[in-house]
Amino acid sequence: MHVNLLGFDRPPTLGPVRLSEAQASAVSREPIPANPGSNSPVRIFTACHGTQLLVIQHLRRHLQLPPAAEFLLWYPMENIPFIDSFMQQVIPSADFSDTLDIRDFQSLRPRSHSPLTWWLESARRLHRDATTVRVWLKKNGSSEPDVELWADDPIHFYVNFSRGVLRKSRHVKIPHCFNHEDITIPAWKARVERQWRGSSWPKRHLFLPWQRWASGVDLRMERVVYDRAYTFDQPSPWSRHSLDVSHLISIGAFDETYRTLPASTRADVEAILGPIRAGRRPLVLLLLFGLSPELRRAYQEAVAKMFSERIAELNDCSFAVKVHPGTNGIEEQKFFGWLGANVPARVYPIIHQLNLELMLPQLRPDYVLAGPCGALPIIKRLGVGRPIVLSEVTDEMCRMLPAERLGYLSLVETMEVW
């Protein structure tokens, strides 16, 4: 039974209960029934970023799924070169039966049309892109009823488009990153739903029905439903059938997934981590979000205060800084310049698109510092370091994104604050 995310004819909430570690391990290994299609079952995974690709690889490595041909529909978010480069490193060795790179899809091109001509152009673009997907499926001997579509949150084009094209397939929700679905997701989902409900009457009742009829792509957000959902933490609010795979958040599981990456990728990572492992202790690891000028200054204030107030505790430490896998711009460069001039410790930049979780088996930090970051609960659970919340960074992020304030604070409310 599906959940209608906009609340119309909503079925009663079942109130899922989190399974124990042993129960979760057993559930994740139960065979999942194959699709009822007439051909061989097919799984299509979707990604626009290295983080999603790594989550996919983690699940493929550790879940005991029924045999199926596995495909990847992907593109690099906003055609960012370093995201593209990382994904293209990982994909060739990932053993997909086939891949479809949609970066040249017309629906991803900039819009330069008036409202009236956009009615025609948007449908034309969607129809052409949908035809490309259907031809790709046919080339691989598959059809919609044979497909399980594995996708994350419905916030990017590639998720909503692929779900809208493959309406007759079964839809499987995967975590957006390794800390999801965490405690912040129900409130975040509710905000997304309010945005959907806020669509104008003409858009919902005229434009979208016409677009759906003309293109064959169903983009109605009130129809966002998932047949089942995998979660690394809390029961997923996106599906009535939530499978807890939180036992896969472990040093051993991360290390196994890391070992499946291409040798060249592992060599790049180990060249960065080797000097850090050989450096002085304690190892202090700082996690960066994508920096704005204001957030950079908040990090600088937090770091300056930390070394001023805790110099005895952090004396002779190694100070490693992990840049967010989705960013690396001028503000990060300015921050490293400031660190070099102001921090009384050897600074080790970690600039790589691999997520921290897959580095942890080798890195083993003593302290992990961040704002309201989803990696901190993972650090706390794994016991691989002392998770510390930086108050200046948290305050600035709450100021920048006031709608996220309660979620941010709930994420780190049980943690030590500096």
89 has pLDDT over 60: yes
Q: What integer pLDDT is reported at residue 1 of this predicted model? A: 28
CA 318 to chain centre: 29
* Residue 181 preceded by cis peptide, ω within 30: yes
Q: SS3 for 284?
A: strand
Residue 51, token pair as written in the block: 């983080």
CB atoms within 10 A of CB 169: 24
Helices 375-382, 405-412: crossing angle, 10 deg rounding: 10
What pLDDT does 413 receive? 86
User: Contact, 32 vs 60, CB < 8 A?
Assistant: no
d(CA 350, CA 285): 10
Each domain of the chain, given as residue ranges in start order, spans 21-249, 264-417
Q: What is the pLDDT of residues 122-152, one digit of tens each?
A: 999 999 999 999 999 999 999 999 999 999 9
Report the pLDDT averaged over residues 18-29. 42
For the chain, give the mean pLDDT. Answer: 88
Residue 340 has which token pair? 């070099």
32, pLDDT greater than 80:
no
Which fold would CATH assign to domain 264-417? Rossmann fold (3.40.50)
* Per-residue pLDDT, 266: 97
For the cut 60, the answer to whether the pLDDT of residue 23 exceeds it is: no
Pairwise pLDDT comparison (20 vs 352), residue with the higher score: 352
Q: Cβ distance 17 to 128 under 8 Å? A: no
For the segment 323-358, what is each residue's pLDDT rounded down to a tens digit?
Answer: 998 887 899 999 999 999 999 999 999 999 999 999
Q: C-alpha angle with apex 308: 304 to 311, nearest 5 degrees?
A: 120
In this prediction, residues 91-99 reach a mean pLDDT of 97
Q: Is the pLDDT of residue 2 over 70?
A: no
Q: Which two tokens stand for residue 179?
A: 């800390």
Reply yes or no on whether the pLDDT at 271 is more than 70: yes
The answer to whether 327 touches 291, Cβ cutoff 8 Å, is yes
User: For 78-92, 176-190, 376-390, which range has the lowest pLDDT when averaged over its residues?
Assistant: 176-190
DSSP for residue 235: P
Would you state the pLDDT for residue 34? 52
Residue 25 to residues 110, 134, 235: CA-CA distances in angstroms?
Answer: 45, 36, 15
pLDDT for 45 beyond 90:
yes
Measured distance CA(195)–CA(14) in Å, rounded = 25
How far apart CA 237 and CA 240 sit, in angstroms, is 7
**Could you report how far apart the first and last alpha carbons of the chain are, in Å?**
46
Residues 6+ positions from 208 with CB-CB distance below 8 Å = 219, 220
- Least confident interval from 2-6, 60-64, 87-91, 330-334: 2-6
Percent of the chain with pLDDT over 90: 72
Pick from 13, 25, 61, 32: nearest CA to 228:
32
Mean pLDDT across the stretch 178-206?
A: 85
Q: Does the structure show a pLDDT above 80 at 14?
A: no
Question: Taking residues 57-84, what's their average pLDDT?
Answer: 95
Q: Which of 136, 133, 43, 54 is nearest to 87 (CA)?
A: 54
Whether 264-417 and 21-249 are alike in CATH topology: the answer is: yes
329-346 as b/e: b if 16+ CB within 10 A = eebbeebbebbeeebebe
Q: What is the DSSP string of 138-175?
A: HHTT--GGGEEEEE--TTSHHHHHHHHH-TTSEEEE--
Topology of the domain comprising 21-249: Rossmann fold (3.40.50)
Confidence check: pLDDT of 297 > 60: yes
What pLDDT score was predicted for residue 197?
80
